[in-house]
Structure 1
Amino acid sequence: RSVRVPMMNIKFLTTPYFRDEDLSCSVVELKYTGNASALFILPEGGSMQQVEARLQPETLRKWKDSLRPRKIDDLYIPKFSISTDYSLENILPQLGIREVFSTQADLSGITGAKDLRVSKVSQETL
């Protein structure tokens, strides 16, 4: 059964690419700002089952080591989004930000209350 999904399209790019003959798939790496990147896997015949069944850490290392720049005229990828929510109460004290969580915190400038302190800090990334 096939399902139609919204796609995004990139035209005329040069990006790391590898054709894995053993797994009958193509691998494209798209780089993000900084050191982050994503590997997109296009299986032959449209079935991911064979690739998923044989996917191992060594497979990823082989792909990363074998990627070579290749010109691609048209690349279509399903639209997707990634989001996460981080709780920072345990991380901020490691960075030296402790007092705002304690009873010694003086946040009276915010509301005038003397017993105000921070109980939760979160960051949502989209």
Structure 2
Amino acid sequence: MTTVINMIYKDDVSQQLARYLEYNGPRSTGVNFEIVRSFVNAGADPLVSRYGDGMNLFEIASYNRWKSESWLKLIDICRAGEVTPNCFTKGLAHYLKYQGPGSKDFDFQVVRTFMNAGAKPLVAAMTMV
């Protein structure tokens, strides 16, 4: 019974993160890392999509071409939460798709940090296509 309650609770927290991103998303500069950290620490999934356009937290970061410092903060927040390596692989795929090699925003430190968090670069590169 406790497992079911925890799953419902985590799903609700993920939906609340999605709702927060809906109003503070890609066209807004209002993403507050402390609020995102609170959601992730409570068990929210960073891959949960926003309602309107279906963008998740990593897609929003890519869309806005966040600077390296912001990406590193986001990865650290996710590492502190209960986020799976698959989540980091998908995050790396979004980063590489929009800010990968050839982009003026590309930074190997971001890629290295994703990999240290458990991202699989080959899988990420294959999902970009």
**Normalising TM by the smaller chain, what interval?**
under 0.3
- TM-score, structure 2 normalization: 0.23
Higher relative contact order by CA 8 Å / sep ≥ 6: 1 or 2?
A: 1
**Larger strand share, 1 or 2:** 1
Greater helix share, structure number:
2
* TM-score of the superposed pair, with normalisation by structure 1: 0.24
